[in-house]
A and B are shown apart, each in its own frame.
Chain A
Amino acid sequence: MLAGEAGGAQAMAMRIVTGLAESMDARELLSIEGAHIDSCLYHGQSSIDFAQRLADGGAAVAVPTTLNVSSLDLLHPDLFHGPVDEAALSRRLMSLYESMGCTPTWTCAPYQLEERPSFGQHIAWAESNAIVFANSVLGARTHRYGDFIDICAALTGRAPAAGLHLDEHRRGEVLFRLRGVSDALLDHDVLAPILGYLIGHEAGARVPVIEGLPPDTPEHRLKALGSAAASSGAVGLFHAVGVTPEAPDLETAFDGQPTATTIDVGLAELRIARDRLTTATVDQQPLGAVSLGTPHYSVTEFGRLVELLDGRRISPAVKCFVNTGRDIWNEIGLRGWAAALEASGVQVVTDTCTYITPVMGEFSGYALTDSAKWAHYAPGNLGIDVAFGSVDDCVESAVSGQLVRHGRLWDDP
């Protein structure tokens, strides 16, 4: 393939795959069964240059391949307030990846699509939250792939036999023990993103093991936890003892090795992590917007939102957005929830996300979110102040037009 007999694109893709493999000290390549591409999000001319070079070289994916978010909401194009020429370049980039045979899923949560990787399957996924979910929750195997290598792996069907593909890099390296956290907080959605944010900071690029999460912790909380840890750190895999598939018990999570580092996490540490997620001075600024759905909301999360809203209208002073994938959008339409949300004044955004592209428009004051990932990136990306709150806080605040916090959850037991 390197010699180029399979076309210029194949040769270029293989050069990059082997280049990365060498840098990782991989002895060989392995076959992958699927890929998820983040390179379809426009970051400038180099995004186009790379895709165009591949397309001109006859690129066609060798394995089933899904596409991450782009900067455009193709289903709600009027939402885009950015420069027209940038929109055109974004659209061109999207078309280039479609021309290579990728499925236009436009979601950062490919694990919420009907077909998802199975336990032990080797895949090449980019998009940090998708990587950590695939590894941790599904038990599939992907290294932390970035842009460019994602499509190169998809085109060649190969990836370095290294990193998180291998058993020896999947064992736990640092233990986080939940201590003195109330049952009410353990059973609340707000814990997961905050705990994940704390873990990412402390773990860096190590594999964290979490002890103390309820065994029935649902997927949307594991998603929030992982996406937060992959924002504050370089976490590509975590184990939650008694919850995730590679950690039936502590010993298995560490593969029988002694636990090198143990970090106890209590209410005090969680409060610090929570407060780090707020950059706004909430008592001096108005609430201008609420953004939910980073990563893309699931059917479960939409169900919870509809229930919390209970038919009430969003305050005219607040813009309220929810990001999701077009497949989920279709599903909630069938359930009648899309109409209910629209009647409440909630704007659903598909194919993209409110923190990577100008879709929120003008608002005065700060934005409130239930996502640690969004709270982490939005200030730098959009130049706005943010506050973090639980989804209950977000809904009550959006309805009342000012910040409402459910404080007692955080009281000392």
Chain B
Amino acid sequence: MTITVVVAGAANGPVVVLDEPLSFWGGFSAISGAVTDEHHAQAGTRLAGAIVVMESGRGSSSASSVLAESVRLGTAPAAILLRRNDDILVTGALAARELYGTTVPIVVLGESTYAEAIRSTSATLTDAGLLSFA
């Protein structure tokens, strides 16, 4: 399994695979914890508490703020697993940890691990950076 833990932390939850990238600003509500982007095929999908798997981020610089706000409100994903690292999401996760002492772990997956992730229904990430799927 090839993974890079970019923002460390423990997480456990159901896997939600996003079929296309999502911008957290303009695409996700920190109030509801769900996808709000009307152009996204999975508009309405709840991400709060889920291990969100997507290829990459997209769009707005404000995604960091929305991610941090969702951490504050308890509506954030449990973890975000990406094929390609997204610095804007990483920044939001770092700021949330700075402010609230807790955050959304972010992990970049190698090709075969990503393929495993999108077939899984739940996942567990440990503080030590061990990731497993079920």
Contact = CB atoms under 8 A, between A and B. Distances in A.
Interface residues of B, number: 45
Given A24-B87, A205-B56, A380 B69 contact: no
Return the 5 tightest CB-CB contacts between A and B, nearest first: A146-B88, A146-B64, A379-B38, A44-B69, A148-B95
A41 B98 CA distance: 19
B48 to A, nearest CB: 15
B56 A47 contact: no
Contact of A46 (B36, B59, B61, B99): B99
A47 B25 CA distance: 13
Given A23-B6, A44-B69, A148-B68, A231 B59 contact: yes
Contacts of A15: 98
B18 to A, nearest CB: 13
Given A53-B99, A145-B87, A146-B87, 15 more contacts: A16-B95, A23-B85, A24-B85, A44-B65, A45-B69, A46-B69, A46-B99, A146-B64, A146-B89, A148-B65, A148-B92, A149-B91, A204-B84, A231-B59, A377-B26
Interface in A1-42: 12, 15-16, 19-20, 23-24, 38-39, 41
Contacts of B86: 205, 234
9 contacts: A43-B25, A46-B68, A46-B71, A47-B65, A47-B69, A146-B92, A148-B94, A149-B94, A380-B43
Interface stretch (A124-132, A251-259, A393-401): A124-132
B21 interface: yes
Interface string A216-235: 00000000000000111110
A379 to B, nearest CB: 4
Interface string B72-95: 110000000000111111111011
A99 interface: no
Nearest to B89: A146
A44 B30 contact: yes
A147 B92 contact: yes
A147 B38 CA distance: 23
A23 B87 contact: yes
A404 B46 CA distance: 39
Contacts of A376: 26, 39
A41 B62 contact: yes
Most buried by A among B7, B59, B71: B59
B90 A23 contact: yes
A326 interface: no
A128 B60 contact: yes
Interface of A is mostly: helix
A279 B38 contact: yes
A295 B111 CA distance: 36
A383 B39 CA distance: 12
Given A146-B87, A147-B62, A147-B64, A44 B73 contact: yes
A352 to B, nearest CB: 13
Contact of B59 (A38, A45, A147, A234): A234
B69 A12 contact: no
Contacts of B89: 146
Contacts of B91: 16, 20, 145-149
